[in-house]
Structure 1
Amino acid sequence: MDMTYMTMRAYLYPREQQQTVSFKQHELEQVWFCTSKNVKRLLKKYQESGLFVYEPGRGRGNASKLHFGDSFHEEVTTYVNTLIQKDQMEQVIKLLQLNIPKQWVTELSGEIQTLFGFHNNQKKGDVLRSIVARELTTLDPLYTSVTLESYLIHQLSDTLVLYDQIADKIKPHLAHHWVVSDDYAEWTFYLRKGVKFHHQVELTGLDVVHTFTRFQFSNSPLSWLVNDIVAVEAISDYTVRFMLAKPNPFFLRYLTTYSLGILPRDIPFDEYKWIGTGPFQLKERTDRKLSLAAFNDYFLDRPLLDEVEFWKIPEGSLPAATFQIEGRETSAEVHEYEEIEVGFRMLAFNFHRPTAVQDPSFRQAIYHLVDVEKMFKELGRDKPIAASSYFHWISEKQEKQSGVIKQLLEQSAYRGEAIQLYSLDYEKAIDEAKWIVREGRKYGIQFVHNTMSIEAMYDDHLEQQVDLILFGEVASNDYQLSFLESFNNKALMFRRLFDAEHLAWIDRQLEEFKWAESSATRIDIIKAIEAYIRSNQLLLYLFHPIKRRTFHPMIKSVHFEAYGQINLRKLWIPVEE
C-alpha cells in the first residue's frame, strides 16, 4: 500500500458498493497522471500484493472492476498508523489532502497528533512541529497584512527598535541608541556592530537605507509607515539618519513594525530564500511545510529550540492545538492556556456600492438583527465576549431589540434586493455567515453568502463585489500602534470600505493621536473614534475570540507575544535523565 494506491482508492470510493467499484482505464490515467501502459502495470502490482482482484472490462469501452479485500476505512487506518510509526510526516499530510470521510480522520486525530509537538532526534535536535490550517499568503514584508505571516517575518528579521509592552516604551534592538531633533522631524540611529545576516554578511547602515528605499518605491499597503520620509542616509557604516517631511513624534513606534525588519542590500529579496538577521532562518518552504532553523550567530540569545516546523493540515482534521513531547507519556495534567484575543470580529459595511447599505436605517436594522449571544447559542458555542471596541477591556454590552427590525427596514431604502455577504472560507466564519443569512430571511432580507480565501483581501476588486463582510482584526503587542495601523493599512477593511467623509474625520483624530503626550490621552482618542464608528454604524463590533491551548507540563517558558502567538525564542524542554 502506498500513496499512489490510496489516491486511486479515495477517487473511486464514492461509487463503491460492497467493496467493489467499476471504472474505465482512462480515469486512472488522469488520477495517476500516467500512460495506459503504466496504469496496467500498477494494477498488476497492486493485485499481486493482494489489495484487490482486478476484473478487466470485456470489449472496447466497457468498464473494468476492482474487488477490494479490505474496506477503505480499514486501509486508511492501517496506512496512517504505518506512516506514523515511520515518522513520515510528508506522506500523512498528503493523505489528509485526499477525499477521505472527515469522520475517519477525526477518529485518527489522536494518532496523527503524536507527530506534532516536541520531537528530538540526533540529526535535527529539539524540534517543535506545529499546525497551520491554510496556505500562506506572502512573506514579503511589503505586502504582509495577515497575522501569521507577520509573526513568521518576526522570527526571520529584526527591527531597529522594539516596543516594550510592560514598560510602555521603546527599547534598543538593532539600533543601540538614537537621538531626535526638537521638532521630531530628524531621527538618527546608531547601529550595533557585528550583527550578521543569515548569509553571514554584516549589517550596516546601507542595509537600513536599502530596506526603507524598497518600501518607498513600492505600492505597498503599508506605505503609510514611510510616507513621511523624504530622505534616509547612511552617515557611516553604523549611523543612519531619517529626515521627515513633517514632524511625527510617533515615528519611533512605526519602526517597531515587523514589516520594517532590515533586509540585506547585496541580494534581491526572495520570500522562498528569506534572508534577515532574525533568531530563526528559513530552512525549507513548500506547499505543505515551512521549516525554521535556529540561527547560531544571532546577535542576542540563540533560541533554545533547534528547529520549528509548520505543517499545513486541512481545517477540522485535528482538534485544538495540544503540545506534547515525543517519547513522553501524554500527560493527563496538561497546562491549559486561555486568553482573550486582543482584537475583534466585525461585520463591516461597504460604502462604495450604491446599495441599501448606504441607508442608516438599514444599517441600524442589521445591528439589531446580528445578536451575537443568540448566534452563539444557536450555533452551540460557549457564551461570547461581546465587543463594542477593538479592545476587550473597553467593550461594553450592546443592547439588541429585535422588535424594531421590521420598522427600520420599512423606513429604509431596502426593497428585497440581493445583499452580497462575504466571509472567509473558515468553518466558523461560514457558520456565522449562514446564521446571518437565516436570520435575515425571517425579515425578508435576501443575503447572498459568498466565501473568500485570506489571499482575496489583497484583491483590488473586492470593494466592487462586497456589501457586507465578516472579518477580524488582531493586535500586535503594541495595541495602540495596531489601532493606528487598522485605519492606515490600505489592505485592511477600514481604509477600503469607509467613505471619504468618515475617513477624513477619523484621520483628523489620528493626527492628534500621534501628538498625544500620554497613553491615557491616546486611549481617550480611541474611545472617541469608536463612538463615532458606532453612532454612524460604519461597522458592527461582534465579539472577542478566545484562544485555548494545552501544553505538556514539561514544556518550559511558555510565553505569548504579538498576535497571541507563542514566543518561539524561549520555549524549551529539560533533558530526561
Structure 2
Amino acid sequence: MDNHISHYLRIAAGSGSPYRLLEPLPASIDTLAEVLCCTPRNVKFILRRLEEEELILWQPGRGRGHFSTITFLRSMEDVLEEQLQGLMGKGKVKQGIELIGLPEVQGPLKERLLAVLNKQMGYHSEAETTTGLDILRIISNRHVLALDTASVYTAFEAFLLGQIYSTLVTYEASSDSFMPALAHMWEVNEACTSYVFYLRKGVRFHHGRVMTSTDVKHTLLRLKEQNSPATWHFQNIAGIELLGDHRIRFDLSRPNRFFLHTLSSVYMSIVPYDLEFSPLSPTGTGPYRVTRLSGDVVELAAFDDYYGIRPLLDRVEIWSLPDQWASVRQYQLPEAGEVRPSSAACINNSIDYPALGCRYLLTNFRKKGLQHNRKFRQAMSLLYHPLSLKKELGGNRITPAASFLPWLSRQANFSEPSPDDIKKQLKLSGYNGEYITLAYTNKKDERDEAEWLQRRGASAGITFKLLEYKDFQLDEIISRADFVFSEEVLEDDWQWGMINYFVNRSNHLHGLLLESQLAVIKQRVGSFMELDDKSRSGLLQQTEDLLRDNAWVLYGCHLNKRAQHNQSLFGLHTGSFGFLDISKLWIKSSFPEGSVEG
C-alpha cells in the first residue's frame, strides 16, 4: 500500500471524525506528529503530498488564536476501495488482502472491501499459450504454512493434499465402495490378514521419477518414524513384502476388514523414497503440483504427466484471508483484459451442502474445576441446548445434533429445557457463582455461540468468561478454559472419520480428556477393524454414546456449508469435507453472438 494512503488512514482514524467530509476540523502539526509518529517537519511534507493527491485540504492557522484546520475531501471507504481496485488490477493480491486486514478497516467497511475483492479477484493476462491459462482463485480463511501427510489435521489440509498426492485406492461415497487409484487391482485372503496390491505402471511423481512399490513401503515406514498421530490405524501391520516393482504385500497380525479404508486415507498418500520430505514443497503423484506455498497463498499447477485425466484448470491459487472473515469459500476466475460486471449476483452462484459433523463443546478435564462434576456438565448441556441454539441464532445451523451423524441425530427426541429446569440442575451441581471459562476461536460463528451462551448463562445465574484463542493452538488455553468450542467435519468415508476422531492423538478430544478416559475409548474400539460393516457402525455409535452420556462432548447443531462460485465454472463435484474437487473443474466461456451450442 502506498505510504500516502497509509498516512491518510492514520490521520482520518486519529481525527475522531473521519466521516465528516468537506468540513474543516481543528488540528495541529504537533497532534498530527503524534498520530503519524514522525517529526513536525515530516508532517508538513506528508500534508503537502495528501493535498497533491486531493485527499485533504490543509489550512494553517495564521497568527495568535487562529487554529489550523484539516478538511477531508474523500471518504475512507472510497479511498480504500480505489486503492484495492488498483492493487487487484496489477495482480497484487497479497497487498490487497493486507489492506483489508488493516486495523482501521472494521465492520461494514471491511464487508464492502471484501465484496470488491470478490468481484475483482485477479483480472490479469496470462499469455503462456495462444489462448492463455485457465486459472481459478479460491479465497479461504485458512492459513496454510506447511503440508505434511503424516501430521495432517484440518479438513482444508486434507483437501489440498488430496490434489497433490494419490493413494492406492479411493473411497466412493455414492456406491460405498473402493475404486482403483495407484493400485489397479488387489487381493485379500479369506481371513483378512494378508493383502496384495498391483500397482499401475508408468505413474510419475512430480519430480519425474516413476513410482514403485518401494515408495509405498517408504510411505508407511515414514508414518511410524514420524510418530504420526494416525499410527493406531497401522499398528497391526506385521510385515511388508515387495513382490517386485509393481506388487506389494501387507501381512497383518490380526484380521482387518477395514484395511482399504485405512489405505484410502490422506495419511497413506504415497510419497517418494528418494526425496527428503519437505512440508513446504510436497511432491506427490496427484493432479496438481505445488509451485508456491506460504502463509498467504498456495499455488498449484496442473501436472501434465498425471496418470489419470489431466486437470482442465491450468493453475489454482488459494489465497488466505484475515482470520476474522467469513468461512464461505469463494471460487473466482481471472479474465484477461476485462472487468466483470459489478453485481455479485451476476458473478456468483452458491452451493449449499450439509456437512457431516457438527459444532460442539468439549469439556476440559486437564484443568481443575467444576466441569469435573457430572451434574454440572449436565447443566451445561441444558444451557448449550441444540434446539435453543438453532431457534435463537439460526444462520447455518440447520438441525439440532445428538451425534456427529445427522441420521442418528434425527432419531433423538429433543425437548427444550425451561429456565427453571436449568436453574434446578445448576443447584444440584453445587454451582456457587464461580467463573466458568469458555474458549473459542476467532471464527465468527464460534464467537456468536460463545456470546449467546454467556447471555443465556447470565439469565440462569451462571457467570461465563470468554477466552479467544488461535485455531488449533490448544496449548494456549488448556490450563485456562473449562469448556472449549470445537467443530468436527467428517470425510465422506464417515466410518474412517469417526474412528479417526476417537483415536487420533493430535485432536482436541485427546488434548482435553484424561488418560484414563482415553483408555476407556481405546478399549471400546479395540476390536473395530476386525468387525464387519454393520458391527463397526454399532461400535462407533456405542463409543459416541459414551462421550455424550457422560457429557464429555456437548453437541450443538449440524451445519450447512456454502461455497460461492463463478457462473462460468463447470464440472462442479463436491468431494470429501464438502470442498469442490478442483481437478474436475473447468471454465466455460460464453459463445459469441450467432453461435449454436452443440
Q: Is the shorter-chain TM-score for this pair beyond 0.5, marking a shared fold? A: yes
Partner of 2:305: 297
Residue 169 (structure 1) shift: 2.0
436, 443, 450: which one pairs with 1:426? 443
Question: Structure 2: how far apart are the matches of 1:333 and 1:53?
Answer: 39
Query: SS at 1:254's partner residue?
Result: helix
For 1:349, give the aligned amino acid. T
Q: Please state if 1:167 is matched with 2:193.
A: no
Per the TM alignment, residue 69 of structure 1 is displaced from its structure 2 partner at its CA by: 4.7
Match of 2:469 among 442, 445, 452: 452
1:300-379 equivalences under 5 Å are 300-314=308-322, 320-321=328-329, 323=331, 326=335, 332=346, 335-379=349-393
Does the aligned pair in 1 maintain the 2:390–2:557 contact within 8 Å? no
TM-score, normalization: structure 2?
0.85
The answer to which of 224-233 and 304-313 deviates more is: 224-233
1:259-309 Cα offsets, whole Å, 9 max, x none, are 221111222122221211110111112332211111111000011111111
Q: Relative to structure 2, which stretch is displaced further, 441-450 or 225-234?
A: 225-234
1:223 corresponds to which residue? Answer: 231
Q: Does 1:484 align with 2:510?
A: no
Shift of 1:240: 2.5
Partner of 2:21: none
Partner of 1:115: 120
CA pair 55-135 structure 1, distance change in 2 beyond 3 A: farther
Could you tell which deviates more after superposition, 536-545 or 411-420?
A: 411-420
Partner of 2:65: none
The residue number in structure 2 matching 1:494 is 509
Classify 1:382/1:260 alpha carbon distance in 2 versus 1 (closer, same or farther; 3 Å): closer
What are the residue-to-residue correspondences of 1:239-254 with 2, within 5 Å?
239-254=247-262
Q: Deviations over 1:20-54 (max 9, x none)?
A: 76556587579xxxx99999987776565555578
Describe the SS at the equivalent of 2:352. Answer: strand
* Residue 435 of structure 1 pairs with residue 452 of structure 2: yes
Per the normalisation by structure 1, the TM-score is: 0.88
Residue in 1 that maps onto 2:111: 106
Question: What corresponds to 2:20 in structure 1?
Answer: none
Q: What one-letter code is carried by the residue in structure 2 that aligns with 1:219? A: N
TM-fit CA distance, 1:321: 4.5
- Where does the alignment leave 5 or more consecutive residues of structure 1 unmatched? 58-63
C-alpha change, 1:313 and 1:193, in structure 2 (3 Å) is same
Per mean C-alpha deviation after superposition, the further-off stretch among 67-76 and 563-572 is: 67-76
Give the aligned residue type for 1:5. Answer: H
- When residues 259 and 491 of structure 1 are mapped into structure 2, their CA distance, relative to the original with a 3 A threshold, is same
- Per-residue deviation at 1:513? 3.1
> In structure 2, what is the equivalent of residue 61 of structure 1?
none
Q: Pick one of 522, 533, 542 that aligns with 2:556.
A: 542
Check if 1:414 corresponds to 2:441.
Answer: no
Greater CA drift, 362-371 or 382-391: 382-391
User: Which SS does the other structure have where 1:347 is aligned?
Assistant: strand
Counterpart of 2:542?
Answer: 528
The alignment partner of 2:195 has SS state of: strand
Judge conservation of contact 1:113–1:318 (CA < 8 Å) in 2: no
CA pair 150-224 structure 1, distance change in 2 beyond 3 A = same
Aligned residue pairs total 565
Tell me how far apart the structure 2 counterparts of residues 388 and 311 of structure 1 sit (CA, whole Å): 35
CA contact (8 A) 2:292 2:300 kept: yes
The AA in structure 2 aligned to 1:114 is: K
**1:394 aligned counterpart, secondary structure:** helix
Letter in 2 for 1:371: H
SS of alignment partner, residue 305 of structure 1 = coil
Give the letter aligned to residue 301 of structure 1.
I
- Choose from 64, 67, 77 the match for 2:81: 77
Deviation at 1:70, TM superposition (A): 3.4
Counterpart amino acid of residue 426 in structure 1? K
CA contact (8 A) 1:84 1:111 kept: no
1:89 matched residue in structure 2: 93
* Aligned AA (1:240): I
How big is each residue's C-alpha offset from its partner over 1:119-140, in whole Å with a ceiling of 9 and x where there is no partner?
A: 8743461111111113225411
Alignment check: 8 A CA contact 1:119 1:126 kept: no
CA distance in 2: counterparts of 1:268 and 1:259, whole angstroms: 17
Q: 1:367 to 1:78 in 2, by over 3 A?
A: same
The question of whether the paired residues in 1 share the 8 Å contact of 2:457 and 2:464 is answered with yes
Kindly provide the CA deviation profile for residues 479-508 of structure 1, in whole angstroms up to 9, marking residues without a partner as x: 111011000111223333334454444334
After superposition, the C-alpha distances for 1:132-168 in whole angstroms (9 at most, x for unaligned) are 1132254112222111111111111111111122222
* Aligned counterparts, 1:263-282, within 5 A: 263-282=271-290
8 Å contact from structure 1 (residues 118, 129) kept in 2: no
- 2:528 is equivalent to residue 506 of structure 1: no
Contact 1:10 1:100 in 2 (8 A): no
**In structure 2, how many angstroms separate the alpha carbons of the residues matched to 1:349 and 1:70?**
51
Worse overlay, 239-248 or 20-29: 20-29
CA distance in 1, matches of 2:580, 2:444: 23
Q: Distance in 2 between matches of 1:160 and 1:56?
A: 74
Q: Compared with structure 1, are the counterparts of its residues 344 and 295 closer, same or farther at alpha carbon in structure 2 (3 Å cutoff)?
A: same
Partner residue in 1 for 2:407: 393
More off after superposition, 213-222 vs 504-513: 504-513
Q: Does 2:470 match 1:471?
A: no
Match of 1:153 among 156, 161, 184: 161
SS of structure 1 residue aligned to 2:134? strand
8 Å Cα contact 2:81-2:116 kept in structure 1: no
Distance 1:212 1:497 in 2: 28
Q: Does the CA-based 8 Å contact 1:229-1:243 persist in structure 2?
A: yes
Q: Which secondary structure state, in structure 2, belongs to the residue aligned with residue 151 of structure 1?
A: helix
Q: Relative to structure 2, which stretch is displaced further, 343-352 or 495-504?
A: 495-504
Task: Encode CA deviations 1:506-563: one digit per residue, 9 max, x unaligned.
Answer: 3344234322223x33322233233333322221111110023344444322110111
Change (3 A) 1:239 1:400: same
Q: Distance in 2 between matches of 1:437 and 1:200?
A: 56
Match of 1:285 among 257, 280, 293: 293
Match of 1:257 among 250, 265, 268: 265
Considering only aligned residues, what root-mean-square deviation do their CA atoms show, in Å? Answer: 3.3
User: What CA deviation, in whole Å up to 9, does each residue of 1:397-456 have, x standing for no partner?
Assistant: 422323222222222243322222111111110110111122222233232211122230
Instruction: Give me the whole-angstrom Cα distance separating, in 2, the residues matched to 1:65 and 1:265.
Output: 69
For 2:70 and 2:216, the matched residues in 1 are separated by 64
Q: Which amino acid aligns with 1:94?
A: E
Looking at structure 2, the residues matched to 405 and 472 of structure 1 have their Cα atoms a distance apart, in angstroms, of: 25
Evaluate the alpha carbon distance shift between residue 85 and residue 351 of structure 1 in structure 2; reply closer, same or farther with a 3 A threshold.
closer
Counterparts of 1:209 and 1:345 in 2: how far apart (Å)? 37
For residues 44 and 275 of structure 2, what CA distance do their matches in structure 1 show? Answer: 50
Instruction: Indicate how the Cα distance of structure 1 residues 297 and 445 shifts in structure 2: closer, same or farther if over 3 A, else same.
Output: same
1:230–1:244 CA contact under 8 A, matched in 2? yes
Cα deviation code 1:85-133 (max 9, x no counterpart): 4443233212112122332232344432123499874346111111111
8 Å CA contact 1:137–1:455 kept in 2: the answer is no
Conservation of the 8 A alpha-carbon contact between 1:196 and 1:297: yes
Equivalent position amino acid for 1:194 in 2? G
| Counterpart in the other structure of 2:590 | 576
Alpha-carbon distance change, 212 to 11 in structure 1, aligned in 2, over 3 angstroms = farther
Which residues of structure 2 form unaligned runs of 5+? 18-23, 62-67, 592-598
1:192 correspondence with 2:200: yes
**Whole-angstrom CA distance in 2 between matches of 1:377 and 1:6:** 44
Distance 1:56 1:285 in 2: 50
> Would you say the 8 A contact 2:136–2:313 is kept in 1?
yes
